[in-house]
């Protein structure tokens, strides 16, 4: 009576384990990369939404505004500020604790999300014969947890 015992040899077992490890680590690496990519896209989207909101807010203020109050504004600096007066009130835009904020008649509102930092708010007046017709604004946004995710916008805002 001949009985053949069929089993894996030690070499075959080691080869199967090595192959399994290669596939397992490939899948894990792919999953980690996909998660980081999704998080990166999430922060890019958040920065884009903040940039659009800030741009629209500034545009609306300049549509209603009458003049820039020079004595209450800080031009040509990375952490500038600008005060815009309207017929009935004023708007102060500045950066505090890396968040862009607006002060409207004493009430302060944050314009950017907590996980979006503003590292630059540069305001430059545009003049004609000494009168300020508008301002050029440069704002740089950075994702707090992903410093490689940034966006810089440059816009011109004029009184109408």
Look-up of token digits 């930092």: 117
3-class DSSP state of 120: strand
Rounded Cα gap, residues 62 and 57, in angstroms: 9
The domain total for the chain is 1
| Residue 94 bridge partners (DSSP) | 81, 101
Question: Would residue 97 count as lying in a domain?
Answer: yes
Half-sphere exposure of residue 50: CA atoms within 13 angstroms, side-chain side = 27
3-class DSSP state of 8: coil
pLDDT digit string, tens, across residues 18-42: 999 999 999 999 999 999 999 999 9
Task: Identify the band that residue 1 occupies on the pLDDT scale cut at 50, 70 and 90.
Answer: low
For 14, the token pair is 């080691």
Q: What is the largest CA-CA distance in the chain?
A: 113
Q: Is the pLDDT of residue 74 over 70?
A: yes
Question: Would residue 5 count as lying in a domain?
Answer: no
Q: Is the pLDDT of residue 146 over 90?
A: no
Look-up of token digits 């007066």: 85
Question: Would residue 2 count as lying in a domain?
Answer: no
Q: Is the pLDDT of residue 2 over 80?
A: no
Task: Identify the band that residue 145 occupies on the pLDDT scale cut at 50, 70 and 90.
Answer: confident
Domain residues for the domain of 59 are: 10-158
Show the beta-strand stretches assigned E in the chain: 67-68, 81-85, 90-96, 99-104, 107-110, 116-128, 131-143, 150-158
Q: Could you tell me if 102 and 64 are in contact, meaning their C-beta atoms sit under 8 angstroms apart?
A: no
Rounded Cα gap, residues 54 and 75, in angstroms: 18
Question: Would residue 117 count as lying in a domain?
Answer: yes
Planar angle of CA 24, 30, 34, nearest 5 degrees: 145
| φ, ψ of residue 88 in degrees (nearest 5) | -120, -15
Q: Is the pLDDT of residue 8 over 90?
A: no
Question: Would residue 138 count as lying in a domain?
Answer: yes
Predicted local distance difference test score (pLDDT) of residue 10: 87
Question: Would residue 91 count as lying in a domain?
Answer: yes
């Amino acid at each position: 009576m001949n009985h053949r015992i069929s089993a894996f040899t030690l070499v075959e077992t080691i080869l199967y384990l090595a192959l399994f490890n290669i596939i397992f680590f490939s899948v894990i690496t792919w999953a980690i990369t996909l998660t980081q990519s999704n998080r990166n896209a999430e922060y890019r989207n958040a920065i884009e939404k903040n940039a659009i909101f800030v741009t629209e807010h500034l545009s609306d203020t300049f549509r209603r505004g009458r003049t820039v109050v020079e004595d209450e504004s800080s031009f040509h600096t990375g952490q500038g500020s600008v005060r815009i007066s309207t017929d009935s009130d004023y708007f102060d835009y500045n950066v505090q604790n890396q968040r862009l904020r607006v002060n409207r008649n004493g009430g302060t509102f944050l314009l950017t999300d907590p996980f979006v930092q503003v590292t630059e708010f540069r305001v430059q007046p545009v003049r004609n014969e000494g009168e300020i017709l508008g301002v050029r604004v440069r704002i740089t946004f950075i994702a707090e947890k992903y410093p490689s995710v940034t966006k810089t916008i440059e816009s011109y805002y004029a009184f109408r």
